[in-house]
Structure 1
């Protein structure tokens, strides 16, 4: 690498979640509001859309991964939504259990879910700090 090439972070490319069953995982995430951008069953891979951005959530079948139940220490990804409490109600209506009731954070509210393999997704809003929220 030459001295004049930048080495800073530019943003997310994709987030990868290991899963044990692609069909089950895709069904879960579709109910949670993630549209499928592509599904390649022969590779055990599905790419889900996250908003208008090109990066997405990749689900990849991994050998030996088994379902596990909460609680457990796990990395989390939080995604911005207009209203996390409303998202929590929509998730519950779709049959997706919440890890807990929506909880207050510095910028607004957050609600979390988990898939069968322990991957945790949070949905957070900026209702307390709307000047920091994404627009349209």
Structure 2
């Protein structure tokens, strides 16, 4: 049995889009979590947040009547690489951001997850157990 690959070539991620109910509140939350704003277009209801040195980022998009909600479990998650997830967890707590759980162990390192007020979940993961796989 042969598995044929589709005729497309995936090159990598563009932006990750998160629906939010209020752009000011969302930008404030993500800035406290360490995400610099790359640009913001209030008239379009969007803001692009930086995620490292790569061009793509986290795009916040206002959805009408989208209220606060708890994060779905299980549900989609976006994990971003950091140098040290445990230090990131302390920085998030110092910024007043609640963690979903304490940092937990994976096969490559540790992860800490947070959710914005609309239930979008972001994980910050490191490669302390497998540094050869980490970004330099």
Normalising by structure 2, report the TM-score: 0.93
CA contact (8 A) 2:71 2:120 kept: no
Structure 2, unaligned stretches of length 5 or more?
1-6
> d(CA) in 1 for partners of 2:26 and 2:111?
22
Q: Secondary structure at the match of 2:61?
A: strand
Structure 1 contact 35–48 (Cα < 8 Å) conserved: yes
Q: Residue in 1 aligned with 2:40?
A: 39
Matched, 1:29 2:30: yes
* Residue 7 of structure 1, CA deviation: 1.5
**Cα RMSD for the two superposed structures:** 1.0
User: What is the CA–CA distance in structure 2 between the aligned matches of 1:102 and 1:134, rounded to whole Å?
Assistant: 20
Alignment-derived partner of residue 102 in structure 1: 103
Residue 117 (structure 2) pairs with residue 121 (structure 1): no
Q: Deviations over 1:38-84 (max 9, x none)?
A: 00001100000000000000000001311012453320000000000
Q: Which deviates the most, 12-21 or 72-81?
A: 72-81
SS of equivalent residue, structure 1 residue 60: strand
Residue in 1 that maps onto 2:3 = none
